[in-house]
Structure 1
Amino acid sequence: MKNIVVVGAGQAGASLVARLRAKGFDGAITLLGEEPVPPYQRPPLSKGYLLGDMALERLFLRPESFYADQGIDLRMDARVRAIDRAAKTVVLEGETLPYDALALTTGSAPRRLPASIGGDLPGVHTVRGLADVDAMAEDFRPGARVVIVGGGYIGLEAAAVAAKRGLDVTVLEMAPRILARVAAPETAEAIHTLHAAHGVRILTETALAQIDGTDRVTGVTLADDSQLPADFVIVGIGIAPATDLAEAAGLTLDNGIATDAQGRSSDPAIWAAGDCASFPWQGGRLRLESVQNAIDQAECVADNMLGACCDYVPMPWFWSDQYDMKLQIAGLNMGYDRVVVRQAQARSHWYFKGDALISVDALGDPRAYMVGKRMIEQGMTPDANALADPATDLKALLRA
């Protein structure tokens, strides 16, 4: 194998090409990214960068010089038009690149509101890439009124930043509570309370009917015909895997680009990793949207492209910054049937499925997070009553 092309210059793509070189691959590597900047961190975009606490250069995963030093042909502003599987080429504007192996790390794209309800009006923003955040930055002025559509982590992080900047913030959530798909009611209630303490209004069981305005957003109309004034709107209603290229190329899709356990798509010369890829897990398929997964899965795929033949086994962890409280999550809470609440110096929620500990939400409690993560990785089942007792030494449970 002489030539590897990687499409998508986000966290997964950057991790994959670095791993190829670290593992001794000495052939040609081309990394194609649509944005005009080198690969960068996304989580700080809606936090430190939007707050003005982080300069652009600090977002970059590595200095731009790293890629040249490693013999990696990083191409920015490079939009891939098509994949020709028969010819084993990637088609760009005015150029065709051959590959021996191709990796798709195309990530995901924010879900948008339809134009029919004003989703394309100036002043309607999404939070995904650098251009999105740069576009909304000038709207983040003290006293401005922002309506945030969606009570998931993306919307709530934007709400926290807006509140810290002195904006008037309202969050709309259709479900009976925030974080309904991703967290237990206990975690949702704690974060709801935190936002309320910072002056954020969260309206649950509230549907958006229309974004108002002619040349720019002036407000929103709700499903009950009530109206809220707004100087701008942030849409945080989730993301979808970026699979257009894969679909056009005829690759199998299943909640993303379907891969085998080693990251290979339905075409043995094409691999996938990160937000865009789904992989076998516990008898079904799983797609993870996290920095940790993008790194770990991409490195596993790089190893397998070089012949390692190792299955990807996720050890998920996530985090979300809410004001000065860091929510840290270990494991996956899918299928949980009870939650044990531990209130010591800080609060943590421990998810059980039957007798097995499967996930932990640690709200400003790094010790609970670290202990819970190790327990899950080691398959340990702590005593629920001991967990709930604030006098219990968590590290002692880990040693038990």
Structure 2
Amino acid sequence: MAEPQRIVIVGAGVGGATAAATLRERGYAGEVVLLAAEDHPPYELPALSKGLLLGDTDEPDWVREADFYRANDIELRRDTAATRVELGARLVVDSKGGEHAFDRLLLATGSQPRSLPLPGADLPGVRTLRTLDDALALRGAFSTVERIVIIGAGWIGTEAAAAARKHGLDVTVVDRIAAPLRPVLGAEVAKVFQDLHAEHGVQWRLNADIARLTGTGSVDGLRLTDGTELPADLVLVAVGVKPRVELAHTAGLELADDGGVAVDATLRTSAPDVFAVGDIASHFHPHHGKRLRVEHWANAKNQGAHVAANLVGGEEPYTRAPYFFSDQYDLGCEYRGVADPDTDRLVVRGDLRERQFIAFWLREGRVVAAMNVNDWDNGDALGRIVGERLTVPEEVLVKGDLSSVE
């Protein structure tokens, strides 16, 4: 495959911006166009629900310094969204009427927050958290209200709850699930997070369904289907995201059953000169033998770095295990891999009650996922054990030297 003369990247989140930067760092000398729907320089998402929302910082982590793009001859078009992709003409049309011809195209359009199909969901005071502007607005609102209800007990919901408690708000978290993070961690490990938040004053309303959000001029609470009224000055909707695949769909690219853009092991779509990374990429993972669509920051960043070589003619498969981290109060954790907590076997090293442990999930004896909580000595070993899906005796996982596992 000949090296392309012009690469267009749609989406300047961490995946797209990292791909652009890596192209230059690998020595690619052709044209690089990076279309950014937001007016901010490209930034990373983790700080939005952590340090920035907590008030520990006023800025996110930038993918690169602001002058990097100009200095490296990357044509960064801020506040410019792609509106149409014409595969036959090899053309991207943008929201300002611009047309961008490409030899290779990378789609890194990310996700958008899911909304609630409920009465009152569009009231003022109902917010989501996805962008830098969202995070700054939400943090600003923390100083003007007393009570927040968070709908959704996933990672964003629980991190936002911790931040809101730091700012002194009364916090209630509502979800249909039986325990926070239960679908990812299973009941036993999820209880660690449920108890942690309860000790810090968070009120849980679990196994609960919402009938409507209430209020006239702005939101003043919500009503559960059992008739319970929960007052609120502010409501955060944190019920997950959906991939932005409209461009890919209208262009005629193949979509996968999980709602993402179908890509092969090298991150190439059904069109040979078009690739996709990040939240939208339903990637055939060689180690898992199936498609994975991962909505975490590290996946977008690592895929963006990896795809740069393939955009200029490489054929290397992407094989890294999914990874994410979370910080809540005095608990820090890292999670590697993909588990089904309902069917995979849980093995715990350390003490769940002390909140210092490693949880392993095993499938047919192989370690398919691991989460270290307030344990920072075994990261490299866990990365290798999970990344290679090693078969490790349970007694070694519980008490042995993880660094010596082969």
TM-score range, shorter chain: over 0.9
Q: Closer, same or farther in 2 for the Cα pair 1:132/1:98, shift >3 Å?
A: same
Q: In the alignment, which of 250, 253, 260 is matched to residue 256 of structure 1?
A: 260
Contact in 1 for aligned 2:324/2:335 (Cα 8 Å): yes
Unaligned residue ranges in structure 1 (runs of 5+): none
Q: Which runs of 4+ in 1 moved over 4 A?
A: none
Contact in 2 for aligned 1:371/1:394 (Cα 8 Å): no
- Comparing 241-250 with 136-145, greater Cα deviation is found at 136-145
Matched, 1:309 2:310: no
Q: What residue is the counterpart of 2:331 in the other structure?
A: 325
Once residues 374 and 263 of structure 1 are traced to their aligned partners in structure 2, the CA distance between those partners, rounded to angstroms, is 22
CA displacement at 1:368 relative to structure 2? 4.2
Q: What residue is the counterpart of 2:37 in the other structure?
A: 34
Letter in 2 for 1:371: A
Q: In the alignment, which of 276, 293, 300 is matched to residue 294 of structure 1?
A: 300
Q: What residue is the counterpart of 2:278 in the other structure?
A: 274
- Comparing 225-234 with 370-379, greater Cα deviation is found at 370-379
Q: Closer, same or farther in 2 for the Cα pair 1:18/1:325, shift >3 Å?
A: same
Once residues 67 and 256 of structure 1 are traced to their aligned partners in structure 2, the CA distance between those partners, rounded to angstroms, is 29
Matched, 1:184 2:186: yes
Once residues 301 and 334 of structure 1 are traced to their aligned partners in structure 2, the CA distance between those partners, rounded to angstroms, is 28
Contact in 1 for aligned 2:14/2:301 (Cα 8 Å): yes
CA displacement at 1:399 relative to structure 2? 4.7
Per-residue CA deviation, residues 362-393 of structure 1 (Å, 9 max, x unaligned), is 111122444322222344333213433xxx35
Once residues 369 and 23 of structure 1 are traced to their aligned partners in structure 2, the CA distance between those partners, rounded to angstroms, is 28
Q: Closer, same or farther in 2 for the Cα pair 1:105/1:143, shift >3 Å?
A: closer
Q: Closer, same or farther in 2 for the Cα pair 1:171/1:190, shift >3 Å?
A: same
| Secondary structure of residue in 2 paired with 1:147 | strand
CA displacement at 1:39 relative to structure 2? 0.5
Once residues 378 and 249 of structure 1 are traced to their aligned partners in structure 2, the CA distance between those partners, rounded to angstroms, is 36
| Secondary structure of residue in 1 paired with 2:85 | strand
- Comparing 283-292 with 223-232, greater Cα deviation is found at 283-292
| Secondary structure of residue in 2 paired with 1:188 | helix
Q: In the alignment, which of 357, 362, 365 is matched to residue 355 of structure 1?
A: 365
CA displacement at 1:288 relative to structure 2? 1.0
Contact in 2 for aligned 1:168/1:200 (Cα 8 Å): yes
Once residues 330 and 304 of structure 2 are traced to their aligned partners in structure 1, the CA distance between those partners, rounded to angstroms, is 31
| Secondary structure of residue in 2 paired with 1:97 | strand
Contact in 1 for aligned 2:165/2:202 (Cα 8 Å): yes
Letter in 1 for 2:27: G
Once residues 128 and 293 of structure 1 are traced to their aligned partners in structure 2, the CA distance between those partners, rounded to angstroms, is 17
| Secondary structure of residue in 2 paired with 1:90 | strand
- Comparing 351-360 with 370-379, greater Cα deviation is found at 370-379
Q: How many residues align?
A: 394
| Secondary structure of residue in 1 paired with 2:141 | coil
| Secondary structure of residue in 1 paired with 2:182 | coil
Once residues 310 and 381 of structure 2 are traced to their aligned partners in structure 1, the CA distance between those partners, rounded to angstroms, is 31
| Secondary structure of residue in 1 paired with 2:84 | strand
| Secondary structure of residue in 1 paired with 2:161 | helix
Q: What residue is the counterpart of 2:75 in the other structure?
A: 73
Contact in 2 for aligned 1:142/1:167 (Cα 8 Å): no
Letter in 2 for 1:122: P
Matched, 1:373 2:377: no
Per-residue CA deviation, residues 96-134 of structure 1 (Å, 9 max, x unaligned), is 1111111100011111113x4211111111111112112
Letter in 2 for 1:364: N
Per-residue CA deviation, residues 227-270 of structure 1 (Å, 9 max, x unaligned), is 01000001111111110111111111112111111111111121
Q: What residue is the counterpart of 2:92 in the other structure?
A: 90
Letter in 1 for 2:366: A
Matched, 1:343 2:350: yes
Q: What residue is the counterpart of 1:53 in the other structure?
A: 56
Q: What residue is the counterpart of 1:246 in the other structure?
A: 248
Contact in 2 for aligned 1:317/1:330 (Cα 8 Å): yes
Once residues 93 and 210 of structure 2 are traced to their aligned partners in structure 1, the CA distance between those partners, rounded to angstroms, is 40
Contact in 2 for aligned 1:143/1:166 (Cα 8 Å): no
Q: In the alignment, which of 5, 12, 22 is matched to residue 2 of structure 1?
A: 5
- Comparing 142-151 with 1-10, greater Cα deviation is found at 142-151
Q: Percent of pairs identical after alignment?
A: 39
| Secondary structure of residue in 2 paired with 1:18 | helix
Contact in 2 for aligned 1:39/1:60 (Cα 8 Å): yes
TM-score for the superposition, normalised by structure 2: 0.93
Matched, 1:394 2:401: yes
Q: Closer, same or farther in 2 for the Cα pair 1:394/1:80, shift >3 Å?
A: same
| Secondary structure of residue in 1 paired with 2:142 | coil
Once residues 176 and 84 of structure 1 are traced to their aligned partners in structure 2, the CA distance between those partners, rounded to angstroms, is 46
Q: What residue is the counterpart of 1:204 in the other structure?
A: 206
Once residues 381 and 359 of structure 2 are traced to their aligned partners in structure 1, the CA distance between those partners, rounded to angstroms, is 13
| Secondary structure of residue in 2 paired with 1:139 | helix
Once residues 186 and 382 of structure 2 are traced to their aligned partners in structure 1, the CA distance between those partners, rounded to angstroms, is 16
Letter in 1 for 2:42: P
Q: What residue is the counterpart of 2:232 in the other structure?
A: 230
Once residues 208 and 363 of structure 1 are traced to their aligned partners in structure 2, the CA distance between those partners, rounded to angstroms, is 32
CA displacement at 1:223 relative to structure 2? 1.0
- Comparing 366-375 with 13-22, greater Cα deviation is found at 366-375
